Amino acid sequence: MRRPFPKTAVVLLHALPLSSAMWDVPAAALRARGHRVLAPDQRGFGAAPLGSRPPSLDTVADDLARLLDEHDIEDAVLAGCSMGGYVAMAFARRHRERLRGLALLAARAAADEPETAAERDRFADAMAVDALRAPLVARTTPSLLGSTTRRARPDLLSAVLSMARRAEPEAIAWAQRAIAARADSAELLRDLAVPSVVVSGAEDELVTPEEAATTAAVLRRGRFVSLPATGHLAPVEAPESVTDVLSTLLGEVAEGAAQASTKTERKGTARC
């Protein structure tokens, strides 16, 4: 009797300026469904040290490759929200053979336009100025949540603001510069042959549903999911829906792996 195909590992990558805690609910739900889940703090956030490397998403992608090595994980499905999505694309560029599936939440394939990149750099500069830092975080963080969430879930808004205020300003600045300098990933995504999904909050004010749909359209095996009454942080605002989307993706990956294993076994039998 052929052994059941093992559950696929999934890595959950958080948004800026939050930590892995934003994935707590989906992570627990996926583990309860039998999946191996890693939800790391990315460089400079949560418990992860920033280090002295210059800003680059490639550096964070390589951090992730080392983390997989430490856990004896050969390959994995990556699910990244916002900054986490950009890290996932950088990982796909540098470690494609280790990518089994991809979920992009609130992340666009396109590189920043020059003015957007310049705005990120100005944001990074402001993080070093005491008089500017707190008002800037207080002003920009609410836009991470959809208008419905801000109106109906003041507790969630307060929790996200608290998490953003705990982030080290040096880490925020580093990440903003790294994101501003990222490469366009449209061609990369066109070449990916793994099951993929792009998730968009219908009320996302930072990466519009139209931008997310454009990203989904370039993926060879991608699909687009829109979540109503949800903004930029779907894992926080709609964790049950995100869990279901990721469970479906993980099922597609496992099914493909099982089919490939069956074909290999049949070829081996034919040679006997």
Does 153 fall in a domain? no
Residue 132 lies in a domain: no
| CATH value at residue 54 | 3.40.50.1820
Residue 152 counted as domain residue: no
Which pTM value belongs to this model?
0.92
Give the residue among 111, 149, 141 at the shortest CA–CA distance from 16: 141
pLDDT tens for the chain, residues 1 to 272: 333 445 789 999 999 999 999 999 999 999 999 999 999 999 999 999 999 999 999 999 999 999 999 999 999 999 999 999 999 999 999 999 999 999 999 999 999 999 999 999 999 999 999 999 999 999 999 999 999 999 999 999 999 999 999 999 999 999 999 999 999 999 999 999 999 999 999 999 999 999 999 999 999 999 999 999 999 999 999 999 999 999 999 999 998 766 654 454 455 555 54
Assigned domain for 151 exists = no
Residue 252 lies in a domain: yes
CA distance 72 to 154: 41
Q: Which residue has the tokens 């205020």?
A: 165
CA separation for the pair 90, 250 (Å, rounded): 21
| Structural domain boundaries, residue 50 | 10-110+184-271
The reply to whether 115 falls in a domain is: no
Considering the domain boundaries, does residue 177 fall inside one?
A: no
Question: Does 104 map to a domain?
Answer: yes
Number of domains in the chain: 1
- The pLDDT of residue 2: 38
